[in-house]
Structure 1
Amino acid sequence: MKRLLAWLCAMLSAMGITACDYFNLRELKPGVSTAMEVRERFGPPQMEWRNDDGSVTWEFSRQPEGIECFMITIGPDSVLRTIDQVLNEQSFARVVNGMNGDEVRRVLGKPARSQFFRLKRETVWEWKISHGPDGTSDPVFFTVSFNTDGRVIGTGRYTQYRR
């Protein structure tokens, strides 16, 4: 039964449905769980980041409709080291002027959307970070603006008010 639930959750996660994340996260234990168990629960990562110490960090973004991005680090021994939900204030503070898009993606994961504003000559990436106070409306987004050289020139937030 546990195996069936894990398989079902992995399939739903691959389709962008995150209801199973809560159960998957409870089952995974840093220092104990293996890379294979992480893949069974979360499916294939959207991005793999190689780290200097031989570990790898896997990105599992729940954008554009979800409000989470999990960065899961696996040690060179194929054992789970850490699970971090990176769409938070500490990660937002790490995004500074001059960073390039790869560096921002490494911190926050894949954005929900990207738009180019021709008159301002800048590209804006955005991540949904809140569903709004009642959980169903007025989503809040974190934004990162890039100049034409692909470098960060600022960050911000906005609420998408629904009428």
Structure 2
Amino acid sequence: MKRFLLLLCSVLAAIGLPACDYFNLQELKPGVSTAMDVRDRFGPPGMEWQNDDGSVTWEYSRQPEGTKCYMITIGPDNVLRSVDQVLNETGFARIQRGMTGNEVRRVLGKPASRQYFELSKETVWNWRIEPPPPSSDTTFFTVHFNSDGRVAKTSRNTEYRGG
């Protein structure tokens, strides 16, 4: 049964459904699991980030429909070091005025959407995030870039359902 569940989760993950992330994360153990274990459960990463210490961080964004982005760090020995879900208050606080788009992507992963506004000469990136309780309305963390491609500010917006 466990093998069937793992196979089902792998198939769902391959077509972009993060429903099995919970089960896959339970199977991964920092200091024990290998890079191959991570790839078997999550597939190829959306982006690979080389770190100064020889490790690599793999990005597994669940955007545009999901609300998670996992940054999974693999040591130079090919052993799992850490799994971090970065779309949270700690990640948002790391976004500072003056950062580039690459620096923001390195912290938060691939955004759900990117839009350019001609009149304001502003580019806006949105990440779908967990809404604050008790709401279930769709909520976004937004990074606003100026015409130089640098962070000007951040904000949040909510798409309220009529009712």
* Structure 1: gaps spanning 5 or more residues: none
Structure 2 match to 1:110: 110
Give the fraction of aligned pairs with identical amino acids, expressed as a percent: 69
Structure 1 match to 2:21: 21
Asked whether the 8 Å contact 1:7–1:40 carries over to 2, the reply is: no
CA deviations 1:4-44 (Å, max 9, x no partner) are 43333222112221110010011100000000000000011
Structure 1: distance between partners of 2:76 and 2:97: 32
Structure 2: distance between partners of 1:42 and 1:131: 25
Asked whether the 8 Å contact 1:9–1:42 carries over to 2, the reply is: no
Q: How many residues align?
A: 162
Instruction: Report SS of the residue matched to 2:126.
Output: strand
Structure 2 match to 1:152: 151
Asked whether the 8 Å contact 1:63–1:127 carries over to 2, the reply is: yes
Query: Runs of at least 4 residues of structure 1 off by over 2 A?
Result: 1-8, 131-135
CA deviations 1:135-156 (Å, max 9, x no partner) are 7x52110000001211000000
| TM-score for the superposition, normalised by structure 2 | 0.94
Instruction: Report SS of the residue matched to 1:37.
Output: helix
* Structure 2: gaps spanning 5 or more residues: none
Structure 2: distance between partners of 1:97 and 1:104: 10
Structure 1 match to 2:84: 84
Structure 1: distance between partners of 2:122 and 2:7: 42
Structure 2 match to 1:11: 11
Cα displacement (A) at 1:134: 6.4
